[in-house]
């Protein structure tokens, strides 16, 4: 598992360099069939990640790859799930709230997660079975050994009398606002925090938020890495439709609505 973690981190760091080179200059924005934006950064990051992860011989599901039919994927006991640039809308807005997401899935569950925040030089990672998650600042030419030595554990943390609700920077909707109204019935102070990309999941894992309700569409590559990091520190990611933990490499790669919480 350590070798796979090293490979995932290396892939994320290489992708981050590609992304930031494009972020620093003007770039064009295209739109996919589903109207979601696409930039050269998405494609450049995907290329370097897929090239490196392919060396593990573990199949890859990436947002920027053509998806194989479920008749083939359902036989996979293991797979990588990748979003080479999560938060493309935030990237276009240049607000720094975008990430590189790489997760390892075994039998439908995330067992490892790596999230890089390129604009902040921050790296989050976790191996779920170890029960710990970490954050480290990436410095120029940092090697893997140095990153591990400098990394500090993160953990959820509650504030008495307060519930911090993290919501999407670009996708706050009426259902989410209704959920927040319900929380007000607890008598606790409710604080709303907006954040883009998988940073919302990282916020719960490191104690900067308490709950993340998601009542809008997301794909498996949006959540898998953050799910792993949350799971490692005891935070649940519950599929609201099934009432059970979210699953991955499903026939439909669209997530059901979900709730992330450590209470």
Weakest-pLDDT range from 54-68, 127-141, 145-159, 162-176: 162-176
CATH number for region 2-154:
3.30.540.10
| Residue 142: per-residue pLDDT | 77
Percent of the chain with pLDDT over 90: 77
Average pLDDT, stretch 237-241? 97
pTM: 0.95
CA-nearest of 220, 258, 217 to 102 is 220
Instruction: Identify the DSSP state of 219.
Output: B
CATH number for region 162-261:
3.40.190.80
Token representation of residue 253 = 């790669």
3-state DSSP percent of the chain in helix, strand and coil, to 5: 35, 30, 35
Q: pLDDT at residue 196 above 90?
A: no
CA-nearest of 109, 112, 89, 111 to 99 is 89
CA distances from 83 to 20, 87, 99, 131, 205 (A): 16, 9, 8, 24, 19
Q: Which residue has the tokens 């500090």?
A: 152
Q: How many CB atoms lie within 10 A of CB 127?
A: 21
Residue 195 CA to residue 94 CA, distance in Å, equals 13
| Residue 262: per-residue pLDDT | 79
Q: pLDDT at residue 157 above 70?
A: yes
Q: pLDDT at residue 184 above 90?
A: no
| Residue ranges covered by each domain of the chain | 2-154, 162-261
CA angle, 101 then 226 then 121, to 5°: 55
Residue 19 CA to residue 87 CA, distance in Å, equals 12
| Residue 166: per-residue pLDDT | 93
- Residue 170's pLDDT band (cuts 50, 70, 90): low
H helices present in 94-219, as ranges:
144-150, 174-183, 199-205
Handedness of CA 114, 81, 99, 52 (dihedral sign): positive
Residue 214 CA to residue 240 CA, distance in Å, equals 9
């Amino acid at each position: 598992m350590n070798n796979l973690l090293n490979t995932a981190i290396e892939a994320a760091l290489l992708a981050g360099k590609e992304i930031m080179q494009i972020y620093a200059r003007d770039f064009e924005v295209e739109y996919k069939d589903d109207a979601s934006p696409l930039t050269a950064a998405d494609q450049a990051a995907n290329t370097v990640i897929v090239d490196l992860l392919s060396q593990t011989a573990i199949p890859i599901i990436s947002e920027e790859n053509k998806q194989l039919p479920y008749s083939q994927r359902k036989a996979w006991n293991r797979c990588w799930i990748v979003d080479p640039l999560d938060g493309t809308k935030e990237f276009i807005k240049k607000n720094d709230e975008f990430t590189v997401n790489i997760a390892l899935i075994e039998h439908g569950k995330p067992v490892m997660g790596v999230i890089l925040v390129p604009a902040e030089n921050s790296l989050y990672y976790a191996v779920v079975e170890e029960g710990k998650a970490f954050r480290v600042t990436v410095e120029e030419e940092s090697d893997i050994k140095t990153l591990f030595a400098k990394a500090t554990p993160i953990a959820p943390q509650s504030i008495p009398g307060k519930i911090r609700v993290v919501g999407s920077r670009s996708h706050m909707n009426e259902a989410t606002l209704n959920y927040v109204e319900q929380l007000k019935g607890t008598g606790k102070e409710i604080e709303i925090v907006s954040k883009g990309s998988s940073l919302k999941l990282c916020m719960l894992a490191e104690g900067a938020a308490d709950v993340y309700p998601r009542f809008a569409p997301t794909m498996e590559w949006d959540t898998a890495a953050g799910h792993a990091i949350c799971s490692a520190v005891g935070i649940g990611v519950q599929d609201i439709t099934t009432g059970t933990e979210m699953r991955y490499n499903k026939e439909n790669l669209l997530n059901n609505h979900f709730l992330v919480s450590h209470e």
